Amino acid sequence: MYNPYDFYFKKAKKEWYKARSAFKLQEIQDKFWLITKSTRSVLDIGCAPWSWLQYTIGQLKKFGVQQYQVIGFDLKKVELNFPGLSTYVQDITEQEKVHSILSQHQLSQFDFIQSDIAPNTIGLKDIDAMRAIDLLEQTYWIYDESLSDTGVFVIKVFMWPGFEEFVLKLKKRFWGKNIKVFKPISCRSQSKETYIIKQYSPSK
């Protein structure tokens, strides 16, 4: 049975995270080590309600990273203040505007891209699935253009029609051995969400 006030909801409140989704990223980090002492630039797509920002910046501090830039985009305003963090109310699919913002920060590529973005759903499976894959396709450009050669990413996806084709597209672009699909235990059991991870590989 769906319980909005489950263990992870209560844990998030206790640890001052804005949302329970922080623990999904924590599980991913524990398994794949996407954030390291070498991480200097992070792009967060769909950064509201900002629990991923909280966790990621906490990890950067844990690793003793002094000089970093974290850029977040969302359609909603994010009220979070940390040194090195800049957030924008901006549609990530508007490429020219996104490029303009990134150029202001003298950033064109990132060490780590994290995306917890999701489409607006209406409860109709076919339409929701179409919206989800369409959003993935519209945001593909950012991984294709803005990930550094040694960069890593995590992307939330839904296991609806089109999901496997998108995974294959990423495998073709980023050398398939580095692409993993992983569902954290903190995801609700009935949820179709899962995560695509690109790990770092020093050689091809």
Residue of 62, 156, 172, 183 with catalytic role: 156
- What is the mean predicted confidence (pLDDT) over 31-60? 95
The structural domains of the chain, ordered by start, are 7-198 (3.40.50.150)
Q: Is 172 a catalytic residue?
A: no
* pLDDT value at residue 1: 43
- Give the H or E element holding residue 164: helix 163-173
Percent of the chain that is helix, strand, coil (3-state, to 5): 40, 20, 40
pLDDT tens-digit profile of 61-112? 999 999 999 999 999 999 899 999 999 999 999 999 999 999 999 999 999 9
The Cα–Cα gap between 149 and 161 comes to 30
Question: pTM of the full predicted structure?
Answer: 0.89
